[in-house]
């Protein structure tokens, strides 16, 4: 696989761990972030120290045109990407569905679903053989919540990740003869800033392996899905949830 790996939400958490892991493996990376430029700069510094080419770009996924601008810049300045990790995502505050308003649901769908679809669409137009592309891999970051439902916490988030699982299945089938594999990873409870204060400590004892996972453990699964070792894996999503 040639060309850098584009990772959305690469400034911290799972995206940052993935960038650092891929750089250590010798892959060039491009990360996006929403607002935390200093965190993104640190990730880029660490990746370059591993000897690869690394760039960071601000992309607010709720802003119309942001994804087109990102790919316009990539086309002009960086060249074709070899892979996309569709990772950026948000959760909503914990609440039962009966307490939701439509603005809350719209926000999580706009970032987690519409944003991820826009990224996948732009990548497919460049990677697919029918579009003149050289092929590639798309890894979508879902969640165990897609299967568990997120009851009393964030059913809207769970639904957004179920949509991502369908994107992985459907796009994987569409691109199967186009040189592009599409796969997903469903993390369980991973120690990042995405959780409300105290949630990790509350949930960890319920996890069969007895602890939250690390961002690096998800990065390892993503790195495998991106690699040629996963050459027969497409249209499917793997669970990395400590048995949860």
For ligand NAP, the nearest residue by Cβ is 13
187: its two tokens: 């993390």
C-beta of 128 vs 144, nearer to ligand NAP = 144
Residue from 33, 100, 154, 157 carrying the catalytic annotation:
157
C-beta of 10 vs 82, nearer to ligand NAP = 10
Q: How far is the CB of 175 from ligand NAP (least distance, A)?
A: 21
CB-based contact 83:29 (threshold 8 Å): no
Q: How far is the CB of 33 from ligand NAP (least distance, A)?
A: 4
C-beta of 84 vs 128, nearer to ligand NAP = 84
Q: Where are the beta strands (DSSP E) in the chain?
A: 5-7, 29-33, 54-58, 83-86, 136-141, 180-187, 236-240
C-beta of 180 vs 221, nearer to ligand NAP = 221
Tell me whether residue 177 is exposed, middle or buried, using C-beta atoms within 10 angstroms of its C-beta: 0 to 12, 13 to 18, 19 or more.
Answer: exposed
C-beta of 87 vs 168, nearer to ligand NAP = 87
Q: How far is the CB of 51 from ligand NAP (least distance, A)?
A: 23
Cα angle vertex 142, ends 83, 241, to 5°? 115
Binding residues vs ligand NAP (CB under 6 A): 9-15, 33-36, 39, 59-62, 87-90, 111, 141, 143, 187, 189-190, 192-194
The verdict on whether 100 is a catalytic residue reads: no
Cα 12 to Cα 56: distance, rounded to the nearest angstrom: 12
Q: How far is the CB of 200 from ligand NAP (least distance, A)?
A: 8
Cα 18 to Cα 38: distance, rounded to the nearest angstrom: 18
Cα 94 to Cα 145: distance, rounded to the nearest angstrom: 13
Q: How far is the CB of 179 from ligand NAP (least distance, A)?
A: 26
Print the SS3 string covering 152-215: CCCHHHHHHHHHHHHHHHHHHHHCCCCCEEEEEEEECCECCCCCCCCHHHHHHHHCCCCCCECH
- Of the CA atoms within 13 Å of residue 145, those in its CB half-sphere come to 22
Catalytic annotation, residues: 157
């Amino acid at each position: 696989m040639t060309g850098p790996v584009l990772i959305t939400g690469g400034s911290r958490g799972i995206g940052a761990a993935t960038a650092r892991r891929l750089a250590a493996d010798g892959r060039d990376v491009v990360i996006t972030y929403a607002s935390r430029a200093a965190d993104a700069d640190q990730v880029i510094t660490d990746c370059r120290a591993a000897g690869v080419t690394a760039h960071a770009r601000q992309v607010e996924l709720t802003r119309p045109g942001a994804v087109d601008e990102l790919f316009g810049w990539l086309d002009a300045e960086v060249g074709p990407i070899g892979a996309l990790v569709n990772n950026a995502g948000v959760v909503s505050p914990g609440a039962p569905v009966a307490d939701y308003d439509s603005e809350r649901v719209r926000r999580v769908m706009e970032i987690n679903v519409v944003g991820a679809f826009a990224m996948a669409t732009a990548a497919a137009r460049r990677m697919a053989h029918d579009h003149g592309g050289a092929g590639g891999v798309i890894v979508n970051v879902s969640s165990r919540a897609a299967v568990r439902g997120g009851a009393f916490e964030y059913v809207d988030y769970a639904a957004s990740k179920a949509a991502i699982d369908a994107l992985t299945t459907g796009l994987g089938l569409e691109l199967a003869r186009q040189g592009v594999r599409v796969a997903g990873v469903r993390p369980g409870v991973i120690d990042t800033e995405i959780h409300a204060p105290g949630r990790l400590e509350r949930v960890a004892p319920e996890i069969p392996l007895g602890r939250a996972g690390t961002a690096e453990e998800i990065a390892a699964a993503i790195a495998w899905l991106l690699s040629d070792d996963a050459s027969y894996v497409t249209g499917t999503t793997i669970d990395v949830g400590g048995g949860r």
